[in-house]
Amino acid sequence: MAASPAAGYDDRPEDEGDDVATTLNHTADEPSRRDFLYLATGAFGLVGAAATIWPFIDQMNPDASTLALSSIEIDIGGVAVGQEITVKWRGKPVFVRQRTAKEIADAKAVEVSTLRDQNAQNPNLPANSPATDANRTAPGKEAWLIQIGICTHLGCVPNRGGTYEGWLCPCHGSQYDSAGRIRQGPAPENLHIPPYQFTGPTKVKIG
């Protein structure tokens, strides 16, 4: 406060100035309180804008009624050996197949190290379980292959066919074997297995 009235703010040495003078005298490498306030206000506004936008984005995610449909119970008593049914779970087809002894034996004979996708893709097991035939089914239920019938390439539904006693995708020619593992074509992964458990001898809860 010692500066004469005639002296402009810029003439005053910084250490002598009051708050206002300090603000106006700041240099680029010495941020002032006003710089801090600008940044803080701007950042606060940005957070507010993001918070406002979020409901508009999140409304597109699956809604509560869709999530509520996420588990079904089915009766597989009527599925004979070598037969397959398709049930709908979360809008997707799930193949439930009682495999023949030959299909099981052939699937077991395949070395896991020769497979393109060596992950069992089975959420009922720990992640990274190897894609053995046993890991593709539930313990003690090796005849039952339960898998999501959606090609891991671009989402078409494979039909029975191909050269591996399994499934052939009509869209881009991916072939899966009798354990639903990818053997040929553009698909990167084995057919995924849904979370499921046997709740009785012929009852399965999917989801």
Size of the site for another protein (CB under 8 A): 30
26 has catalytic annotation: no
| 195 scored as a contact of another protein (CB under 8 A) | no
Cβ neighbours for 190, distance < 8 A, ≥ 6 positions apart: 115, 117, 119, 120, 121, 131, 136, 152, 176, 179, 180, 181, 182
Q: What share of the chain is helix, strand, coil (3-state, %, to 5)?
A: 30, 20, 50
| 79 scored as a contact of another protein (CB under 8 A) | no
Nearer to another protein, 33 or 160 (CB): 160
Task: Candidates 9, 157, 198, 205: give the one binding another protein (CB under 8 A).
Answer: 157
Element (H, E) at 46: helix 33-58
Nearer to another protein, 112 or 156 (CB): 156
| 55 scored as a contact of another protein (CB under 8 A) | no
> 205 has which bridge partners?
73, 197
| Among 3-11, 18-26, 36-44, 169-177, the segment contacting another protein (CB under 8 A) | 169-177
Nearer to another protein, 39 or 67 (CB): 67
Distance CA 196, CA 50 (A): 38
Distance CA 207, CA 197 (A): 9
- Binding stretches for another protein (CB under 8 A): 57, 60-63, 66, 70, 86, 88, 90-93, 149-150, 153-159, 169-173, 186-188
Question: What residues act catalytically?
Answer: 172
